[in-house]
Amino acid sequence: MASVADRRATVVAFALAVELQKGVLQAMEKMKSDAQTGLNGVLDPIARLPLEISSDIFTRCLFDDYITIPELKIAPLLFMSVCRSWNQIAVSTPALWATLHIAMDIPRPRGFEYGALAKLWLDRAKNQPLRIALDGPLVQDVRDLVHQKAHQVQTLVLFLQTLQDLLHITTPLPSLQALTIGQSRESGQPPMYYADDADACVELLRAAPGLVDCTFEGIMYEADTDLDHHPASQLTHSSLETLRLGGRHYLSSTLILKSLTLPALKVLTVAPLTIRYDDLLGFLTRSSPPLQSLEMQLGIGVEWSHDMLEGIFWLVPSLTDLHLTFTTPISPLLGVLTIGSPQFQFLPGLSNLEIRITVDPSRSEYETLVRTLSARRGSHARMQSFRLFWWAGAEHHEPDADILVAVRQLVADGMEIYMGTSYGSYV
């Protein structure tokens, strides 16, 4: 009978043999993996390309919109699950990781931390300009991460839920060029109220001196806010070229315009809301902007007169694109746009005019419209396009036959004209 020592020696011998075979197996697994990688390199055209070319191909596969984490079925995470070479290409391509949407109000796996994964994601972007969207209640680790990466953030989209979230995210953003602030993308979410501090949006603009494009959407103030006595922090922003003000109440756009002076502004949109004439006039007078495009809605709560439109258009002689929505007759606009003497006219460079209406033009308004378009088509700065839309559901009638004949003559002369509804044009 074998002794205890002999049995122990046998166990040790087998253990050594097992460890030896494990080492052999691991070596063979590595050899197999290397062989597979070599085979992939021969069969996979991506793996055979120089890194800069394969990286460019991967980058072109990205969606234009922001990528929500965690999202395994689309690029760039999809690339990492194909094979080791694709994984290496993805990790070595900073541009793949420069865009990120952090939706903090969606269900997340247990143990999932937005801040940790977002940091790993953005660290892979290295020194790339960053595009970041934040949606939902702001958590501290995400806020801290944005502060850490603030010098790289070029585009920032904020769909937050509270004023405090906006205040907490405000930090110097020296590279920021495009900013959107609004309510959560989730349908049914109430707008964000800034009644406690109407300067919150303006302060974020102050933190981004290089900002070029800005959108405020779904932001509201308390309905009883006294606009004439509301203290507003004043800011002159010398880089902003595009400003879009959207929402359901004119208070949001009015308070922002009362605070800003924008001498570089080229595009201004205040739709689909209304705005007070005096506030818009004051803003344009202070700013003297080289405005090229203006979009706004007129007629709700106040009827804009011929003199009011003259006052606005006098301040924006560089305007080339005009988009107006009327809930009242358009005769005041036609009176302003009708060309008088060659030495003086409003909006001399107007190239594209779009009007949305709820009220049918009268016969005389149609006749004035045709004369105006004909005169501007024949001027030194020839008008290129005219579009007249009836709002969906608005009662309307087809223009008289002779009016349509005159309009079609302008089309034959090269002007692009659309007169009708979303269902089709009468021209």
Which tokens hold the place of 161?
């839920």
**What gap in Å lies between CA 330 and CA 305, rounded to an integer?**
10
SS3 361: coil
Nearest to 102 by CA among 187, 217, 184: 184
**Is residue 325 within 8 Å of 297, Cβ to Cβ?**
yes
Task: Tell me what pLDDT residue 163 has.
Answer: 74
Higher pLDDT, 65 or 126: 126
Average predicted confidence (pLDDT) for the chain: 81
| Distance in angstroms (rounded) separating the CA atoms of residues 214 and 268 | 10
From the CB of residue 256, how many other CB atoms can be counted at a distance below 10 Å?
Answer: 26
Backbone torsions φ then ψ of 400, nearest 5 degrees:
-60, 155
Rounded Cα gap, residues 417 and 427, in angstroms: 7
Q: 196 pLDDT band (50/70/90 cuts)?
A: very low
Q: Give the residue from 317, 327, 335, 265 showing the smallest Cα distance to 296.
A: 327
Asked if the model's pLDDT at residue 229 lies above 60, the reply is no
Report which of 174, 171, 165, 177 is spatially closest to residue 147, judged by C-alpha positions.
171
**Residues 127, 129, 135, 137: is their CA dihedral positive or negative?**
positive
pLDDT digits (tens, 9 = 90+) for 274-330: 577 888 899 999 999 999 999 987 765 567 788 888 889 999 999 999 999 887 788
For residues 84 and 80, what is the distance between their CA atoms, to the nearest angstrom?
7
Looking at 46-50, 96-100, 382-386, which range is the least confident one?
46-50
Q: What's at 47, amino acid-wise?
A: A
pLDDT at 149: 95
Q: How do 235-236 and 260-261 pair as beta strands?
A: parallel
For residue 239 the two structure tokens come to 């880089």
pLDDT at 125: 92
Within 13 Å, how many C-alpha atoms sit on residue 94's CB side? Answer: 8
Spell out the residues 6+ positions from residue 65 whose beta carbon is closer than 8 angstroms to its own: 101
Question: Tell me, what's the pLDDT at 308?
Answer: 87
Handedness of CA 123, 124, 127, 133 (dihedral sign): negative
- Predicted model pTM: 0.81
103, two tokens: 């939706």
Segments in 74-180 forming alpha helices (H)? 77-80, 84-91, 114-124, 140-148, 163-169
- Predicted pLDDT at 70: 58
pLDDT digits (tens, 9 = 90+) for 136-154: 788 888 889 999 999 999 9
